[in-house]
Amino acid sequence: MQVLLLGAGTVTSRLNMQLAEQGHAVVAQIAAFTPQHLDLFDFRALVVVSPEASVAPEGLVQAAERGKLLFVIAGVGDGMSAWANGVGVPALAYPPSEVDVHKLFEEMRRAEAGNLAADDQYRRAVLGSDLSARLQSGMAVRKIAITSPKGGTGKTTVAVNLAVALALSGITTYLVDADGNAGALQYHLRMERVQTTMIGLLRREVAKAGRGVMGDVASGAAYLNAFTPLENLPTLRVLPGLITDDLGDEVLQQEDKVAEVIQGLYEAGVAAGGVVIMDVGINPAHVVHRAALKAAEGIAIVIKPEIPDLAETRRWIARMIRSLASVVGRGSAQEFVGSRVKLCYNQVVGDGFKSAHKLLQQALSEDQIELALIPNGILPIVDPRLAAQAVNSDRREDILVWRYRKEKLEELGPFAEALLGFAAHFVPAVREGAARIGLLPAAPKKRGWFRK
Ligand SMILES: Nc1ncnc2c1ncn2[C@@H]1O[C@H](COP(=O)(O)OP(=O)(O)O)[C@@H](O)[C@H]1O
Ligand SMILES: [Mg+2]
């Protein structure tokens, strides 16, 4: 792999030769490291020979945040060795013995093979190793579908920002494009080279079934390998692109297979300790959408607080309950929908959503649907210029919450805070992670209605 080697002494120079012998490409060997080097050189791993280099832990934290793999060689009692051990970065004694050097190469091979190493380093180095362990227990709803009964309400915007917010907060997040009509994740995330796409994965699995490959249940690893990791946010992996204009497409005729793949993606992400978010298109009768909604533990319905959206939502909920009721009975159907659906009002101006929400409640009770839906998310409209840059600029970091994290633009504060509030309905631990990286104020703000 591409290595940036830090140090300017005999041990470093020797290591430089040995790395080359092992087939690694040392892009540069430098004595003093600054975060600017992260932009100057293209590399995957940073190998630090601490006693021969000038580098501060803060610089290494920034490298971990950018998804670089870190390896440290440091003297016993050296501050760098204490730091590395504290955050779980592989650390070897200085000067390293032959055995140590072999251990280093072994660690590098392992990290290269299992792409989970970088996200763990991000968690430990950027958020702190104490929090890293706690995050795992604070995830209530790990299989999340984001949908809406109408187009253009902000499904993809919410899915992408929710995923980035969770990922920045240290939660490994698998983001899937399951929109059969208007998949757009590859644009939002500026992805050029991808491992595969949703339609590619479906074709592969359907082809296997067509050849009668029995018992060839795709393993969790095969599903995880379908995701493309982002080099500058190691906690986020993406499976883009379910685009086919051909409704007669063979893969869409095999509902069982589609359901198996969707389920497999959810299960694999959860088994790997993460959260899976699917961006699901508007038509719940589409085979992919139906499978993604059915297997979800939480369904976010993104709507604008406007009459046409409310009318569609009313119909969507009624249809969902009707179709479930024929299988499990009306009571259970209502329970299923009530326990899973989380409403997210988007592009909200002022508190107009309150009267809209009342209208929706009223309409549902007129339909004899007993659901106590609450507005779980209330996302304000953001400056259209910033919303456009979030998809049009050439920087992936212009995605709204990511940009807020980097630039602290005041205009984006309310959106980021509201989004994290919505995210906490699924993953309560996100608050702690977000506070650690400065995405949220550490102490929860007092709300108006708590005041006397
Ligand atoms: N909170 C918001 N503030 C401003 N513009 C938004 C907001 N949410 C979404 N948009 C814009 O609305 C349009 C539709 O959003 P998108 O996420 O693509 O919707 P969908 O996936 O439901 O079709 C996009 O131009 C997007 O930038
Ligand atoms: Mg969309």
CATH number, domain with residue 90: 3.40.50.2300
Report whether pLDDT(397) > 80.
Answer: yes
- The CA 362 to ligand 1 mean position distance, Å, reads 27
Residues 36 and 161 in one domain: no
- The CA 68 to ligand 2 mean position distance, Å, reads 31
- Quick one: pLDDT at residue 247? 61
- The answer to whether residue 372 is domain-embedded is no
Q: What is the average pLDDT across 81-105?
A: 91
- At residue 401, the 3 state secondary structure works out as helix
Cis? peptide before 95, omega within 30° of 0: yes
- The CA 346 to ligand 1 mean position distance, Å, reads 8
Confidence label for 170 from pLDDT (cuts 50, 70 and 90): very high
Report whether pLDDT(215) > 50.
Answer: no
Q: Which ligand is nearest to the CA of 300?
A: 1
Report whether pLDDT(159) > 90.
Answer: yes
Which atom number of ligand 1 is nearest to the Cα of residue 152? 23
Report whether pLDDT(451) > 50.
Answer: no
Report whether pLDDT(190) > 50.
Answer: yes
User: Residue 301: beta bridge partners?
Assistant: 147, 343
Q: What is the average pLDDT across 135-148?
A: 90
Closest to 161 in 3D by CA, of 428, 430, 385: 430
Confidence label for 252 from pLDDT (cuts 50, 70 and 90): confident
Residues 82 and 219 in one domain: no
Residues 223 and 286 in one domain: yes
Confidence label for 13 from pLDDT (cuts 50, 70 and 90): very high
- Quick one: pLDDT at residue 244? 58
Closest to 166 in 3D by CA, of 293, 273, 292: 273
Q: Residue 294: CB partners within 8 Å, gap ≥ 6?
A: 259
- The answer to whether residue 367 is domain-embedded is no
Report whether pLDDT(193) > 90.
Answer: no
Q: What percent of the chain has pLDDT over 70?
A: 93
Residue 200 belongs to a domain with what CATH number? 3.40.50
Which atom number of ligand 1 is nearest to the Cα of residue 153? 22
Which atom number of ligand 1 is nearest to the Cα of residue 150? 22
- The answer to whether residue 101 is domain-embedded is yes
Tracing tokens 């959810």 back to the chain, one arrives at: 266
Residues 100 and 242 in one domain: no
Q: Average pLDDT of the chain?
A: 89
**Binding site membership of 45 for ligand 1 (Cβ less than 6 Å):** no
Q: Phi/psi at 178 (nearest 5 deg)?
A: -115, 35
Residue 188 vs residues 120, 191, 344: alpha-carbon distances, Å: 25, 8, 20
What is the longest distance spanned by two Cα atoms in the chain?
80
Please tell me the residue having the least CA distance from ligand 1 atom 15. Answer: 154
**Which DSSP symbol is given to 448?**
G
Q: Phi/psi at 118 (nearest 5 deg)?
A: -65, -35
- Quick one: pLDDT at residue 114? 65
- The CA 416 to ligand 1 mean position distance, Å, reads 15
Q: Tell me the per-residue pLDDT of 22-58, one tens digit each, with 9 for 90 and over.
A: 999 999 999 999 999 999 999 999 999 999 999 988 8
**Binding site membership of 386 for ligand 1 (Cβ less than 6 Å):** no
Report whether pLDDT(116) > 80.
Answer: no
Residues 183 and 222 in one domain: yes
- The CA 151 to ligand 2 mean position distance, Å, reads 7
How many angstroms separate the first and last alpha carbons of the chain?
Answer: 61
Q: Tell me the per-residue pLDDT of 373-396, one tens digit each, with 9 for 90 and over.
A: 999 999 999 999 999 999 999 999
- The answer to whether residue 159 is domain-embedded is yes
Residues 150 and 84 in one domain: no
Please tell me the residue having the least CA distance from ligand 1 atom 27. Answer: 387
Residues 156 and 47 in one domain: no
Q: Of 414 and 447, which is predicted with more confidence?
A: 414
Would you say 59 and 33 are in contact if contact means Cβ atoms under 8 Å apart?
Answer: yes
Please tell me the residue having the least CA distance from ligand 1 atom 12. Answer: 154
Residues 206 and 285 in one domain: yes
Q: Residue 225: CB partners within 8 Å, gap ≥ 6?
A: 195
Which atom number of ligand 1 is nearest to the Cα of residue 380? 1
Q: Of 121 and 182, which is predicted with more confidence?
A: 121
Which atom number of ligand 1 is nearest to the Cα of residue 382? 3
- The answer to whether residue 43 is domain-embedded is yes
- Pocket perturbation via mutation, ligand 1, pick of 157, 177, 401 by most ligand atoms within 8 A of CB: 157
Residues 68 and 206 in one domain: no
**Binding site membership of 27 for ligand 1 (Cβ less than 6 Å):** no
- At residue 412, the 3 state secondary structure works out as helix
Q: Residue 307: CB partners within 8 Å, gap ≥ 6?
A: 356, 359
Residues 69 and 165 in one domain: no
- Quick one: pLDDT at residue 104? 93
Q: Which ligand is nearest to the CA of 181?
A: 2
- The total of structural domains in the chain comes to 2
- The answer to whether residue 224 is domain-embedded is yes
| Listed range (101-105, 314-318, 321-325, 447-451) with the worst mean pLDDT | 447-451
- The CA 153 to ligand 1 mean position distance, Å, reads 6
CA atoms lying within 13 Å on the CB side of residue 241:
18
**Which DSSP symbol is given to 46?**
E
What does the angle CA 315 – CA 316 – CA 318 come to, to the nearest 5 degrees? 65
Report whether pLDDT(445) > 70.
Answer: no
Pairing status of strand 233-239 against strand 228-230: antiparallel
Domain residue limits at 206: 138-303+382-450
- Quick one: pLDDT at residue 452? 39
Confidence label for 206 from pLDDT (cuts 50, 70 and 90): confident
What is the reported pTM? 0.89
Dist. CA 162–CA 273, nearest whole Å = 17
**Binding site membership of 147 for ligand 1 (Cβ less than 6 Å):** no
- Quick one: pLDDT at residue 110? 84
- The answer to whether residue 30 is domain-embedded is yes
Residues 210 and 282 in one domain: yes
Q: Which ligand is nearest to the CA of 157?
A: 1
Residues 149 and 100 in one domain: no
